[in-house]
Chain A
């Protein structure tokens, strides 16, 4: 017999639920510019503190400050602002298109635009992203045609994926955007393999893996970290911590770990945490990690601290599990507004120009949408052929599939 008390199970809960007042007082946010910038070839052991802080460049006044500032020109920043606004406008139109029944499903990026848009700029042609379903900014900032994205969402007769994939599961080798899978975390370890291949071939290309906070609990996250660490693969391993995995708050995946970045420490990886709503900080950290990979120094784990402002998907209603006003209380603000304020602060931008650009972007998206809809939407107009359904399972169609295609009458 023992005097130990009866055991009880600990199940983490978010600070607040619907009806409660949003509370982010537990999120400790360092001042912009206060986190040091190590040398690219620094020993991971020497920068363990960076896994528990948040690298930030833009301060409250919209100034770029500290050792991570200065990686982008004003023109590049203006282009970055445009990319984020384009992604947001694209999301709005596609969300509406889903509500209008033009497609079955959509997932928006609201609040997370800086992460993928700024990261894309740190890569070079030939590099490969292994994205999740919430990094379309990689395509937009990489110049992938909006019409092709919409054709995929509509599964119409111009859909590059022939109607085989759920909306937003894009694929473009040419644009360094690996085919998206519905199965979470699988691509994280594939990114490591791709990077290993580049190293085996003595190439100069690097890979980037992407994962959300919730999916870090998948076993492939751990496999990816082991392989990346063991073979020092030239890969940047990105964790987008938007606080939510559908209805599950990030504490369910994170457990007792201080941060998601801290998970990298046990694998000997340099692990950085960055303000995901700070376009300048995201780019600076991405550039640091990409350069480290490109110089064959090894992989880096980066946690982007952000907030999923929108619903998880068009099939989700967040008011059922979190306060409606929570996104407004999020202390890192809105990435578009923060970059806009910075550009105004340095005299490169104005409210008038911003309003004008918003209108231009809306026109761009609307005209792309019109063009895409000429090829059909999910339930009307042009659609991929039934023959396409049977193609591409194998390089060469085996006899049993030929028989089935014949039976289907195509």
Chain B
């Protein structure tokens, strides 16, 4: 075991995967020599050479499109889009090509590819360095969508994603890159040092896709969260004193519905929290599923806490970001409902 930040864990996952399988190639903007704007690929080019880890032109559809061709050839590209906010030029390639290649060719061609994208806000990133576009991927059949919330999962899930035979969208909450963040921006920044999930095996291991993790057991209410919001949910439970059960979904597609239903049937209440905007966000899907499967166990309407239906603002960062104050109020309302 070693102490790792999420950045180091992600780098370690690619290092391990590249070492084990020479079909794994890593590329993207500034990913090669420089090692990535977030340092996630630092040292990989030196270790594996320029043809395994390299810099790409600034063309998201080019990066994703070439990766699809490489995957069809038989490689396993693990590519990077510098910010999830900049995936839109590649959306055609991701949704119409990568997602459907196996289906439309009846398995003649497949697309074992991972697309890493730093995501989420809480960093004064403004409109185009803060977005959480996961719902734009969960709606696309053929894609799998992963959002880790800590270094241990980030490494284990990324290794699973690289080994997965289908395309995986791997959203990395950049707010969590250097340390956990519970939404208390007024507190000093914390690091992963001392956090139990900052202890990460140096060698190969994996965390399966499609399996949620119960971060806190509780009996009063179930909170469904992923990414940065897992830490916000933990702080909220602590501060409100409400005995919440917190589920870190980890994979949005395929979803671990069993773990969710088991919890909600036990608690009778459910709150969904995500950074992404509310309307048609992934929370709506979670609410619909819980409602459909737990209707007779529910003691209150299911609550959603999310980003407002506005573009992500700059100056109003903390008015926008669903922190523990908003989450706490929602949780108290939910318990009184």
- Which of A159-167, A296-304, A361-369 is the interface stretch? A159-167
Contact B51 A200, beta carbon cutoff 8 Å? yes
Contact B142 A196, beta carbon cutoff 8 Å? no
Contact A161 B65, beta carbon cutoff 8 Å? no
Q: Does B144 contact A (CB under 8 A)?
A: yes
Contact B65 A160, beta carbon cutoff 8 Å? no
Provide the residues of chain B in CB contact with A395, threshold 8 Å: 102, 110, 165-166
Contact B105 A179, beta carbon cutoff 8 Å? yes
Provide the residues of chain A in CB contact with B141, threshold 8 Å: 393
**A183-B96 Cα distance, complex, nearest whole Å:** 7
Contact B105 A161, beta carbon cutoff 8 Å? yes
The 0/1 profile, CB within 8 Å of B marked 1, for residues 105-128 of chain A is 000000000000000000000001
Q: Does A224 contact B (CB under 8 A)?
A: yes
Q: Does A192 contact B (CB under 8 A)?
A: yes
Nearest residue in B to A183 (C-beta to C-beta)?
Answer: B96
Q: How far is the CB of B45 from chain A (nearest CB, A)?
A: 14
Provide the residues of chain B in CB contact with A198, threshold 8 Å: 73
Contact B142 A190, beta carbon cutoff 8 Å? no
Contact B62 A190, beta carbon cutoff 8 Å? no
Contact A192 B69, beta carbon cutoff 8 Å? yes
Q: How far is the CB of B81 from chain A (nearest CB, A)?
A: 14
The 0/1 profile, CB within 8 Å of B marked 1, for residues 170-186 of chain A is 01110000110111001
The 0/1 profile, CB within 8 Å of A marked 1, for residues 58-86 of chain B is 01011001111110111100000000000
Contact A196 B66, beta carbon cutoff 8 Å? yes
Q: How far is the CB of A216 from chain B (nearest CB, A)?
A: 15
Partner of A400 from B69, B102, B108, B254 at Cβ < 8 Å: B254
Contact A179 B109, beta carbon cutoff 8 Å? yes
Provide the residues of chain A in CB contact with B66, threshold 8 Å: 189-190, 192-193, 196, 227
Q: Does B309 contact A (CB under 8 A)?
A: no
Nearest residue in A to B111 (C-beta to C-beta)?
Answer: A190
Contact A181 B106, beta carbon cutoff 8 Å? no
Contact A224 B109, beta carbon cutoff 8 Å? no
The 0/1 profile, CB within 8 Å of B marked 1, for residues 372-410 of chain A is 000000000000000000001111001110000000000
Q: How far is the CB of B105 from chain A (nearest CB, A)?
A: 4
Given contacts A219-B89, A394-B144, contact A178 B109 (CB under 8 A): yes
Contact B142 A394, beta carbon cutoff 8 Å? yes
Provide the residues of chain B in CB contact with A393, threshold 8 Å: 102-103, 141-142
Contact B96 A398, beta carbon cutoff 8 Å? no
Partner of A193 from B68, B89, B100, B101 at Cβ < 8 Å: B68
Provide the residues of chain A in CB contact with B142, threshold 8 Å: 393-394
Interface size on B, residues (CB 8 A): 44
Q: Does A201 contact B (CB under 8 A)?
A: yes
Contact B62 A224, beta carbon cutoff 8 Å? yes
Partner of B108 from A179, A183, A195 at Cβ < 8 Å: A179
Q: How far is the CB of A243 from chain B (nearest CB, A)?
A: 26
Q: Does A226 contact B (CB under 8 A)?
A: yes
Provide the residues of chain A in CB contact with B7, threshold 8 Å: none
Given contacts A183-B92, A186-B93, A192-B69, contact A227 B62 (CB under 8 A): yes
Contact A162 B257, beta carbon cutoff 8 Å? no
Contact B51 A193, beta carbon cutoff 8 Å? no
The 0/1 profile, CB within 8 Å of A marked 1, for residues 2-36 of chain B is 00000000000000000000000100000000000
Nearest residue in A to B166 (C-beta to C-beta)?
Answer: A394
Contact A169 B73, beta carbon cutoff 8 Å? no
Q: How far is the CB of A156 from chain B (nearest CB, A)?
A: 14
Provide the residues of chain B in CB contact with A196, threshold 8 Å: 66, 69-70
Given contacts A183-B97, A190-B72, A197-B74, contact A164 B62 (CB under 8 A): no
Most B Cβ at <10 Å: residue of A189, A227, A398: A189
Contact A400 B61, beta carbon cutoff 8 Å? no
Contact A220 B103, beta carbon cutoff 8 Å? no
Most A Cβ at <10 Å: residue of B72, B96, B144: B72
Partner of A130 from B57, B69, B165, B253 at Cβ < 8 Å: B69
Partner of B65 from A195, A201, A207, A220 at Cβ < 8 Å: A220
Most A Cβ at <10 Å: residue of B51, B62, B67, B144: B62
Q: Does B43 contact A (CB under 8 A)?
A: no
Contact A186 B97, beta carbon cutoff 8 Å? yes
Q: How far is the CB of A152 from chain B (nearest CB, A)?
A: 10
**A249-B255 Cα distance, complex, nearest whole Å:** 48
**A137-B57 Cα distance, complex, nearest whole Å:** 34
Q: How far is the CB of B99 from chain A (nearest CB, A)?
A: 9
Given contacts A186-B93, A394-B166, contact A194 B106 (CB under 8 A): no
**A200-B67 Cα distance, complex, nearest whole Å:** 12
Partner of B59 from A160, A165, A182, A227 at Cβ < 8 Å: A227
Q: How far is the CB of A254 from chain B (nearest CB, A)?
A: 22
Q: Does B218 contact A (CB under 8 A)?
A: no
Q: How far is the CB of A327 from chain B (nearest CB, A)?
A: 32
Q: Does B210 contact A (CB under 8 A)?
A: yes
Q: How far is the CB of A404 from chain B (nearest CB, A)?
A: 10
Q: Does A319 contact B (CB under 8 A)?
A: no
The 0/1 profile, CB within 8 Å of B marked 1, for residues 195-215 of chain A is 111111100000100000000
**A398-B108 Cα distance, complex, nearest whole Å:** 20
Q: Please provide the chain B residues from 138 to 189 with a CB less than 8 Å away from any CB of chain A in the complex.
A: 141-142, 144, 165-166
Provide the residues of chain B in CB contact with A220, threshold 8 Å: 61-62, 65, 92-93
Q: Please provide the chain B residues from 38 to 55 with a CB less than 8 Å away from any CB of chain A in the complex.
A: 51-52
Provide the residues of chain B in CB contact with A162, threshold 8 Å: 106
**A183-B99 Cα distance, complex, nearest whole Å:** 13
10 residue pairs A–B, Cβ–Cβ below 8 Å: A173-B108, A186-B92, A193-B72, A193-B73, A197-B75, A200-B70, A207-B69, A223-B62, A393-B102, A399-B257
Known: A190-B66, A392-B102. 18 other contacts (CB 8 A): A130-B69, A165-B104, A169-B104, A173-B109, A178-B109, A186-B92, A186-B96, A189-B65, A189-B93, A190-B68, A196-B66, A197-B69, A201-B75, A207-B69, A219-B61, A220-B62, A220-B65, A400-B257
8 closest A-B pairs (Cβ-Cβ)? Answer: A193-B69, A193-B66, A189-B65, A223-B62, A179-B105, A197-B73, A190-B69, A194-B69
